[in-house]
A = this chain, B = another copy of it.
């Protein structure tokens, strides 16, 4: 395996059912390009994949176009409960948070849990207490209501979860994912985004991967772990691993969604069973590319 001196990064703004470009999609493309430009600046200067995916995910959380952070969607009780995770492929250290309702940037909290506790994941009140003790920026439910009004799309199938994966100049991988979850989810619902091995995973021996879609489908198939093991254990390349994993998602649970990945040599792949997967990437330091659909698409059965 040769090590590439260049960097790679991919980001996504969620899976959905959009088949055609719209004015909203144009805004999203503009936003993704801006985030990738910032990601490039960090990676080009020798920054770590870990710092870069957290930074890019935070930018996506602050943009009401997406269902994460500011633009998070409400649960069936009208409340905003957010979740996020981050994983460092060099050390396999990870941080995750779920069921937080007063944190501006859940991905920053996930990073803090990874760095400053013996744990990987905190939930609910315990997570909020840890965040307060560590002076993480808080946000009120009013803040999320405001973002949701700006976000407002009538499309309940637009999941809009965000994520970032990167390989830095040192050859290290990292992945981050953040979401507001499903519209009208039950209070307390935990999705795949904060679950290491379900919606997010990174291992320098395999790949970094971030998923989006109907979270339960990714949990039941441990999809992020599956993508990574196909590379680390079975020596699939990025494209073959992405294809095999999205085929598994569909064949096993008729799963709905997609993912982005960057493998150990910096190759990027995108795959989805949903009609759309808003994403953008820079492969080996090249041009910024964006797409409304994944490059590998497997149709799911009508349900």
Let me know if A121 and B219 touch, CB within 8 A: yes
Given contacts A222-B197, A222-B222, A122 and B190 within 8 Å (CB-CB): yes
- A125 at interface, CB cutoff 8 A: yes
Query: A124 CA to B215 CA in the complex, in Å?
Result: 19
Chain A, interface residues (CB within 8 Å), range: 35 or more
For residues 113 through 157 of chain A, which have their beta carbon under 8 Å from a beta carbon of chain B? 117-130
Give the distance to chain B from A242, nearest Cβ to Cβ, in Å: 15
- A187 at interface, CB cutoff 8 A: yes
Partner of A225 from the list B120, B197, B215 (CB cut-off 8 Å) is B197
For residues 179 through 218 of chain A, which have their beta carbon under 8 Å from a beta carbon of chain B? 185-191, 195-198, 201, 203, 215-216
Smallest CB-CB separation from A189: which chain B residue? B119
Let me know if B121 and A124 touch, CB within 8 A: no
A residues adjacent to B (C-beta < 8 A) = 81, 87, 92-94, 96, 98-99, 117-130, 185-191, 195-198, 201, 203, 215-216, 219-222, 224-226, 228-230, 233-234, 252-253
Given contacts A99-B123, A219-B196, A225-B225, A129 and B94 within 8 Å (CB-CB): no
Query: A124 CA to B185 CA in the complex, in Å?
Result: 15
Let me know if B196 and A123 touch, CB within 8 A: no
Give the distance to chain B from A297, nearest Cβ to Cβ, in Å: 22
Partner of A195 from the list B81, B188, B195 (CB cut-off 8 Å) is B195
Let me know if B219 and A94 touch, CB within 8 A: yes
Given contacts A123-B98, A126-B99, A219 and B233 within 8 Å (CB-CB): no
Let me know if B120 and A216 touch, CB within 8 A: yes
